[in-house]
Chains A and B, each alone.
Chain A
Amino acid sequence: MSPGPATTDPSPGSLDEVIADYLEAEDRGGSSDRGAVLARYPEWAGELAAFFAAQDRFGGLVAPLRDIAPRAGPEPAAAPGRRVGGYEILGEFARGGMGVIYTARQVQLGRVVALKMILTGAHAPAEDRQRFQLEAEAAARLDHPNIVPVYDVGEADGRPFYSMKLVAGRNLADHLGGRPLPAAEATGLVAAVPGPSGTRTTAGSCTAT
């Protein structure tokens, strides 16, 4: 994606290796002993303490969102050539918190479309599936020059999907080049993006596509 300092891998034994070890300990379950980490790496104590503080602060702020966000890990991308309903997958186009968008060929009509599927597939909780279905239906009802038209809504092998016109463009991450956007500008940008039902996306939904 965006080149720059963000792409350099930290050297072994660096602060980020220490943080990675700490995060993995967290992932293995149980509480990771921050005191021991700080004591073991006094040279990074300031940075580590700042990281722990920021992690707690942000973690606390987004905690309410975690209950509604899909918790499962990523589902492998559908392999090119795979058939989904009447579509042949050509490649992965974009991926967000809840859905993945493929470029696909609608076999019967021979046209290339964007095919959106729920990220966790057939294993998605009923609530996510219902939300996805509502999004698809709402999007299909919209007719607006700024909104990509929906062609088809369906389900294949227990995975809901919908297809829409494929629009070439840059995604937001590429546009930003890894830099945070000034708040005022970000607000304007988000306000200009219609949500799935033509209104703004609710602040609590924390999804990226």
Chain B
Amino acid sequence: MQQEVVVLRHCQGWQLADIAAHVGRSRAAVASLLRRGLDALREHFPREEG
């Protein structure tokens, strides 16, 4: 679900309230999924240059 939330928010630009309704979680729970999803992705980000 982390993955789904990150994709909906960042690839498709859904609003927080829409995502919360879609996955059936509270807005804070979605924020948590989003935060931890991005955190998990961070190690896969390309290194910043410079």
Indicate with 1 or 0, residue by residue over A163-196, a CB within 8 angstroms of chain B CB atoms.
0000000000100101010010000000000000
* In contact, B10 and A58 (Cβ under 8 angstroms): yes
Contact partner, A71, options B12, B40, B41, Cβ 8 Å: B12
In the assembly, what is the distance between CA of A73 and CA of B17, in Å?
10
Indicate with 1 or 0, residue by residue over A12-23, a CB within 8 angstroms of chain B CB atoms.
101111011001
Determine the interface band of chain A, counting residues with CB < 8 A from chain B.
35 or more
A198 within 8 A of B: no
Contact partner, A20, options B8, B27, B36, B42, Cβ 8 Å: B27
- On whether A24 and B41 interact (CB within 8 A), knowing A51-B35, A178-B2, the answer reads no
Tell me which residues across on chain B come within 8 A of A58, comparing CB atoms.
6, 10, 38, 41, 45
Q: Total interface residues on B, using CB and 8 Å?
A: 40
B49 within 8 A of A: no
Which stretch from A60-68, A79-87, A139-147 is at the chain B interface? A60-68
* In contact, A16 and B12 (Cβ under 8 angstroms): no
* In contact, A10 and B29 (Cβ under 8 angstroms): yes
Q: Which residue of A lies closest to B41 (CB)?
A: A58
- On whether A20 and B11 interact (CB within 8 A), knowing A6-B36, A57-B42, A178-B2, the answer reads no
Tell me which residues across on chain A come within 8 A of B48, comparing CB atoms.
57
* In contact, A27 and B28 (Cβ under 8 angstroms): no
Contact partner, A97, options B12, B28, B33, B39, Cβ 8 Å: B12
In the assembly, what is the distance between CA of A99 and CA of B11, in Å?
15
